[in-house]
Structure 1
Amino acid sequence: MSSPAATVLAGLRVNEARYFKNKYGHVFTVEPVSNAGPTIDWVSRILTEERGIVISARPLEATAFQVENIRMAYVFYENGLSINVMYTVDDLGKRAVGFKLSDGMEIPAELASFKFA
Structure 2
Amino acid sequence: MSYAVDFHTVSTVGLESSPVTDALAGLRANEARYFKNKYDHTFTVEPAADAQSTVDWVSGILKDERDIVIASPVLEATEFEVDGIRMAYLFYESGLSINVMYTLADGGKRAVGFKLSDGMDVPEELGAFKFARQKSKLAGTIRGSYFVIKGEH
Q: In structure 1, which of residues 28, 43, 53 is the aligned counterpart of residue 58 of structure 2? A: 43
86-95 vs 76-85, which moves further: 86-95
Q: CA deviation at 1:78?
A: 0.2
1:8 counterpart = 2:30: no
Please name the residue that 1:84 is paired with.
99
Distance 1:93 1:67 in 2: 14
Q: Quick one: percent identity of the two aligned structures?
A: 69
Q: Following TM superposition, by how much is the alpha carbon of 1:93 offset from its aligned partner in structure 2, in angstroms?
A: 6.0
For residue 70 of structure 2, the aligned residue among 52, 55, 80 is: 55
- CA drift of 1:9 comes to 1.1
Runs of 4 or more consecutive aligned structure 1 residues displaced over 2 Å after TM superposition:
none
* In 1, Cα distance between equivalents of 2:116 and 2:85: 23
Pick from 75, 82, 86: which aligns with 1:67?
82
CA contact (8 A) 2:20 2:118 kept: no
> Higher strand proportion, which one?
2
Match for residue 107 of structure 1 among 97, 117, 122: 122
The change in CA–CA distance for 1:51 and 1:20 in structure 2 (over 3 A counts) is: same
1:94 CA drift (Å): 3.3
Letter in 2 for 1:106: D
Aligned to 1:21: 36
Give the root-mean-square deviation of aligned CA atoms. 1.1
Task: Tell me which moved more, 90-99 or 6-15.
Answer: 90-99
Q: Which deviates more, 50-59 or 83-92?
A: 83-92
Shift of 1:3: 1.7
Alpha-carbon separation, structure 2, partners of 1:96 and 1:39? 15
Higher helix share: 1
- Kept in 1, the 8 Å contact 2:72–2:94? The answer is yes
Using structure 1 for the length normalisation, give the TM-score. Answer: 0.95
